[in-house]
Structure 1
Amino acid sequence: MWSEEAVREPQLVERRGGAGIAYADEILGDRDSRGVLWDRATVASGRGKPQFAKIHVHRQRRAMRKLLCQVCGRPAHGDDRGVLWLLRNRTGDWRGWPEGMLVSEPPVCESCLALATRVCPALRDEGHLVAQAASCPVHGVEGFRYRAGAGRPVPVENELVSFIAPAIRWTLASKLVRQLHNCTVLEVREGAAAT
């Protein structure tokens, strides 16, 4: 996000019959084709200062949907081994990682790979892994889940929710999530914190 952009916080209400959450002033563009409710944000790309720790909901969703580079917005690198992903190094999480991993960070293009690893504090501190995934289907969303309350929805927690989970009706989405399959690891680097 840029400093001139902001996430809007309109009033949430419960849908009739306990069918999930909605905006009190909901418009057609607030939901995607699956009926998932999305955060609202102003758009002022390039205005003000970049806020690297904050992700713009609309640009993230577009980049994940179209497999665009998270840095430059052009098509991510892809070849017969799949789409290129730059991930924080979590090789100790499970055997075969990142196979099956759920990701909300968009892929990258080859041109932006070196820049991203150099300027991103998380990638420098924690290390990184570069991999290609032959398959990376859209899985669900990351967002804040709510539950029914006394007249208005009650926030529960931020989590990853599959499109087929009943909780999707109660989730205010902020990021689109894909799952990585048939991964080829190209590079693993330890971070500054590990040395």
Structure 2
Amino acid sequence: MEEVIARAGRVAYADETPADRDAYGVLWMRQVHAPEQGVPLYGKIHSARQRHAVLNLLCQICGQEPDENHDGVLWLLPTLPGQPAEDDGNGIITTYPPVCRPCARLSLRQCPPMRRGHALLRVRDVQVHGVTGAAFTPTASRAVFHEAVEHAYGDPALANVVAIQLLLRLTDYQAADDTEPC
């Protein structure tokens, strides 16, 4: 991760550009972008790719349109074995973008967390909720990593967070029909 400094009451990069912050003013982690190179690193999501897929509701794996029918958009989420997706009473909070059917099949075969337990959902309502990231404690001249956090947009604590992934809130959802071929 680039060196994070404290400036004007929030975290920053010494050579920060407008592209380093999102529309909410949150600083984002910088990463090298090399599309179609390398192999999948399950559990190690590329921040910019995840953010693009979430904001545009694209398949989390191939980046194309997700599967959608009259019941909603297809979502594949990891869960504890035999458990449903965790709903806090106001929906499911997730970093996972939607998925297309071919990539859902691929993920169920190749992704270790999905093989352990997963929920296949049809979602009709999605809102951008906040970010996961690294919280820093500002000092006089720099910022010191404090802890990994999740915060909703609008939380003042985001001034000292370097975002790593967007969080979505999934509402108005149902389990996908078991007869769907995945």
Match of 2:108?
117
Match of 2:122?
132
Deviation string 1:19-68 (CA, Å, 9 cap, x unpaired) is: x1110110121111221110101111222333233211111100000011
Question: Following TM superposition, by how much is the alpha carbon of 1:97 offset from its aligned partner in structure 2, in angstroms?
Answer: 7.2
Match of 2:142?
152
SS at 2:176 equivalent: strand
Taking every aligned residue pair, what percent have the same amino acid on both sides? 36
Match of 2:4?
12
Give TM-score, length-normalised by structure 2: 0.87
User: 1:54-93, aligned counterparts within 5 Å?
Assistant: 54-90=44-80, 91=83
RMSD: 2.1
Given that residues 89 and 128 in structure 1 are in contact (C-alpha distance below 8 angstroms), is that contact kept between their aligned partners in structure 2? yes
Question: How many residues are paired up?
Answer: 176
Match of 1:34?
24
Question: Following TM superposition, by how much is the alpha carbon of 1:14 offset from its aligned partner in structure 2, in angstroms?
Answer: 1.1
Residue segments in structure 2 that go unaligned for 5+ positions in a row? none
Residue segments in structure 1 that go unaligned for 5+ positions in a row? 1-8, 189-195
- Please point out which of 162, 180, 192 is paired with 2:170: 180
In 1: Cα distance, 2:136 partner to 2:14 partner: 15
Give TM-score, length-normalised by structure 1: 0.82
